[in-house]
Amino acid sequence: MDTRSVKGLSLGTCSSCGKRTPIYFRRYSGVKLCSTCFKEDFVKRVRRTISRYGLFRYDDRIVVAVSGGKDSLVLLKILYEIEQDFPKSELLAVLIDEGIDSYRLDGLRTSREIARILNIELHETSFKDLYGFTLGEVVKSGIAEKLKLNPCTICGILRRKALVTVARKLRATVIATAHTLDDIVQTYLLNLLRGEKNLRPIGLRREVENIIPRVAPLRLTPQRELALYAYLEGIPFQSRTCPYTHESMRDEIRNFLTLYDYKYTGSLYAFLNMFERILGKIPQPAEVNRCEICGEPTDRRICRACEIVLSIRSLLKN
């Protein structure tokens, strides 16, 4: 675990309780926290994020997509804790198996175990059930290559669609994703660099008729604090990495931002706040265009997910 930040410092005592030995030094504020105070503060920040942006209602039916990775399991655990204060709300977990050989096995086991401990319903589904093919089949048959799409792109788009499909079946009123501060800033930058025309805020609640809003309660949580929290809470890190992981532009931006934020601490917050102030000034269309096949919002006639599913199915037939 990354405790480098406290090396070489006179440790002193925790800035919060003034008693215990700090294990974490928050560079941008100069605060040193012991393990107990760090965990408390971590949950408090998520609570503040939820209320600052109005992410949930008291009677929401919340779906969390768990992947078996630490980020989504941390989110599930924290929302479980927070939702205890809202007895009319419900929390459900969804696990989507893309069918990447044995990659998901550890994740499946961990997700089931944590859902069982927290007594949260875990709904499992797969690309095979929903689309009739697995991601493994799409890659091995050479279809991904034929479509000139890298597996991560296909997986991301189809996971998103799968999650919405299941959330609808479960009559969810909101979907919570585990995107952290780092993830969101990366995506904003990526969208800018790719010249994305329809820039929208990510992970904020936007009520549009018949669309399940997606919110990111960890949007103010830095990735490194999430990793430390997972470690302290004994939430396992996925030991296998996805064999198809390859998103070179995002990787480069991630590396750049990590270094930059280390050197100029607080940069990620500064970027997020400024960028969202600018986004807030861009008028969003009142009318939402919908996919002719699935009815989900899209800027095209047929959404990208439906288009990909149709192409894959027709190539699989031939």
Q: Rounded to an integer, what distance in angstroms lies between the CA atom of residue 1 and that of residue 232?
A: 9
Q: Is 6 in the site for Zn ion (CB under 5 A)?
A: no
Nearer to Zn ion, 76 or 149 (CB): 149
Neighbouring C-alpha atoms within 13 Å toward the C-beta of 160? 17
Q: How far is the CB of 307 from Zn ion (least distance, A)?
A: 8
φ, ψ of residue 42 to 5 degrees: the values are -60, -45
Q: Is 23 in the site for Zn ion (CB under 5 A)?
A: no
Applying CB under 5 A, the span of 36-44, 69-77, 145-153, 194-202 interacting with Zn ion comes to 36-44
Render the chain in DSSP notation, one character per residue. Answer: ---GGGTTS-----TTTSSSPP-EEETTTTEEE-HHHHHHHHHHHHHHHHHHHT---TT-EEEEEE-SSHHHHHHHHHHHHHHTT-TT-EEEEEEEE---TTTTHHHHHHHHHHHHHHT--EEEEEHHHHHSS-HHHHHHTTHHHHTT--HHHHHHHHHHHHHHHHHHHTT-SEEE----HHHHHHHHHHHHHTT-SS---SS-----TT---EE-TTTTS-HHHHHHHHHHTTPPPPSSPPTT---HHHHHHHHHHHHHHHHSTTHHHHHHHHHHHHHHHSPPPSS--B-TTT--B-SSSS-HHHHHHHHHHHHHH-
| Contact between 121 and 92 (Cβ < 8 Å) | yes
Applying CB under 5 A, the span of 33-41, 142-150, 217-225, 231-239 interacting with Zn ion comes to 33-41
Q: Is 303 in the site for Zn ion (CB under 5 A)?
A: yes
Q: Is 20 in the site for Zn ion (CB under 5 A)?
A: yes
Q: How far is the CB of 15 from Zn ion (least distance, A)?
A: 8
Q: Is 31 in the site for Zn ion (CB under 5 A)?
A: no
Q: Is 158 in the site for Zn ion (CB under 5 A)?
A: no
Q: Is 291 in the site for Zn ion (CB under 5 A)?
A: yes
Q: Is 139 in the site for Zn ion (CB under 5 A)?
A: no
Applying CB under 5 A, the span of 189-197, 217-225, 238-246, 294-302 interacting with Zn ion comes to 294-302
Nearer to Zn ion, 104 or 160 (CB): 160
Q: How far is the CB of 161 from Zn ion (least distance, A)?
A: 7
Nearer to Zn ion, 6 or 293 (CB): 293
Nearer to Zn ion, 17 or 270 (CB): 17
Q: Is 39 in the site for Zn ion (CB under 5 A)?
A: no
Q: Is 184 in the site for Zn ion (CB under 5 A)?
A: no
Using CB under 5 A, pick the residue from 16, 173, 238, 267 that binds Zn ion: 16
Q: How many residues bind Zn ion (CB under 5 A)?
A: 11
Q: Rounded to an integer, what distance in angstroms lies between the CA atom of residue 22 and that of residue 5?
A: 11
Q: Is 226 in the site for Zn ion (CB under 5 A)?
A: no
Q: How far is the CB of 123 from Zn ion (least distance, A)?
A: 21
Q: Rounded to an integer, what distance in angstroms lies between the CA atom of residue 56 and that of residue 277?
A: 21
Applying CB under 5 A, the span of 105-113, 228-236, 273-281, 290-298 interacting with Zn ion comes to 290-298
Using CB under 5 A, pick the residue from 1, 9, 11, 17 that binds Zn ion: 17
Using CB under 5 A, pick the residue from 6, 232, 293, 315 that binds Zn ion: 293
The residues of the shown chain that bind Zn ion, judged by CB under 5 A, are 14, 16-17, 20, 34, 37, 291, 293-294, 303, 306
